Chains A and B, each alone.
Chain A
């Protein structure tokens, strides 16, 4: 069962990763990236790393990807517009990709034949929660103050820009 699931997720990651690289449409690229990231989260689940999987979903699939889409929306006037890839860019990209791929293959080959799920039964989420509400309660609370500053500051700046624009028609 696990093996079947592994291959399904692996196929999902691989195919959508190729899609990210090949697609000329930036929105399609983003959607493919979503499947890549979700597939990696699924692999983490299979390795019993629930917390890592959840973080992968929340931070990458949920946060970073939405940011990318927002960035595309706000900067690109025509979201369907593709871009031209120059030949030298293709060469450089292929070169970097080849180096990365060979490094990854080499490191995978040097590992023990199969990664085993952690069966120790330790439940890191529980410990993380206890740490956040115990030892690190104060930094945890301080984060909320820092985020409040960031939020108010961003709102303040955006408002200020509008005010200036109105002042100089």
Chain B
């Protein structure tokens, strides 16, 4: 059993610290509230180190599993763990309580329950880590729910405004529905295969010698499709994207940043795992899945970007843009499973590696630039006079009005926002550019020209609203004061150090990976290794590579 503990050490660190924090929550002193985020950071860094320590073992054996084969760790999973812990640090810094009694920060107000708030955050992050190492349908489902359940609570308690309550309720009900859809898919897969072990299910999908996808029972395929649709909720992709606008707007900005990364990472990890299984371990999935994914990708991109253009609220703009980013990554996944099908593709394996590498790279890029954009947004004050009293706590800039002219008043924040927006658009010299390039190149090699053209069109549409954010901050003047009225008092901008640290880190990350090519290369090498191990982890080799000592 020590093996399980060794395998899941990062998860155990996070969940253990979450329990400690919950106990700390009993004390209502401001000291305990100030310690909670520090302990959260310590746990995340410890989890990062613990995951990193597994590198040698993984490189040596390729994969590690527990005796019951419920958990199986590849370098793919390790990459996700490192990424989640690192972005988790940025997200915790964003939510750092900074006011005098440590009950919140400029845009977040969780009252006296700081310890519980950070504990929920840690549990959600540990769910992503578990998703990355799950090799059993039951564990996969529970891990995905562990990601989502804390976020429902985090949304409703993140600020005392009614919109947050509304967002929490909406998120909870739609999330419960998506979980039901997912379970429906799982039940069909279990019913047709009689096992919950993903590796054994994968045997059903192994293609024949000519590389033609296995002919599977239609009900089994139905289960996989339903499962993918259920997972679309986690990544806010088309048929399940409705909640994004309301929920992202209603939640306090740091929580929105959390929602835009954490469930999305878990969802993509799960989708990649499902595609790996449905591709028989060599990414040769049936034509049905290829067309399904490409349709989902196109609709997700267009829905996200077109609705993003129409928004008045900047948080909603970022919400719809996060839908669009899921669409871009779905293009990468389509290239991944289409490579074996499209005629005239040279070196299918390399294209598959590149495609998955692109998706993993984009996930990292998105996590970094997203934290920066939300961080700037939360530091700018809201101008909405209708918010006052208790509700004013935990409200920061939301609309374009709020942003007008702020870039000239706070050049630093303005520049940071500009860099993040340029990166989200995909302009050169930023990590976003390489992210899109790594998605487009394999898709081109997989002969998905149509999809690539649509992706580029969408990137152009997204430039419309991203540049509008930047233009509003720098070019628009602040709203004029009407004659005869006293000028409204300028809301003071407080700049908490941890939030600034998070913004600076993400801006540096955005630029370093965008300008210094060796850094980009280093990150993409890491993703490439993650991909190759997942690729080579065929059942035959895997069974002999269980951890030594069991």
Contacts and interface: CB of A to CB of B under 8 A. Distances in A.
Interface stretch (B138-146, B222-230, B376-384, B395-403): B138-146
A153 interface: yes
Contacts, number: 69
Given A134-B68, A156-B113, A167-B390, A139 B142 contact: yes
Q: How large is the interface on B (under 10, 10 to 19, 20 to 34, 35 or more residues)?
A: 20 to 34
28 contacts: A134-B68, A135-B68, A136-B138, A138-B70, A138-B71, A139-B136, A139-B139, A142-B142, A145-B123, A145-B146, A146-B142, A146-B145, A146-B146, A149-B120, A149-B149, A149-B153, A152-B116, A152-B119, A152-B120, A153-B149, A153-B152, A153-B153, A156-B113, A156-B153, A157-B153, A157-B156, A160-B111, A168-B390
B150 interface: yes
B156 A138 contact: no
B116 A164 contact: no
Given A138-B68, A146-B149, A167 B138 contact: no
Q: How would you classify the secondary structure of chain B's contact residues: helix, strand, loop or mixed?
A: helix
B157 A160 contact: yes
A152 B123 CA distance: 12
Contact of A139 (B70, B116, B149, B152): B70
A143 interface: yes
B528 interface: no
Interface in B1-56: 4, 8, 15, 22
Contacts of A164: 160
Interface of A: 134-139, 142-143, 145-146, 149-150, 152-153, 156-157, 159-160, 163-164, 167-168
B66 interface: yes
Interface in B526-545: none
B103 to A, nearest CB: 12
B111 A156 contact: no
Contacts of A146: 142, 145-146, 149
A52 B145 CA distance: 26
Interface in B231-274: none
A139 B145 CA distance: 12
A109 B280 CA distance: 43
A113 B70 CA distance: 43
A32 B8 CA distance: 48
A127 to B, nearest CB: 15
Contact of B111 (A142, A152, A157, A163): A163
Contact of B120 (A153, A159, A163): A153
Given A157-B156, A160-B156, A137 B150 contact: no
B355 interface: no
Contacts of A168: 390
Most buried by B among A136, A139, A146: A139
B390 A145 contact: no
A156 B146 contact: no
A153 B4 CA distance: 28
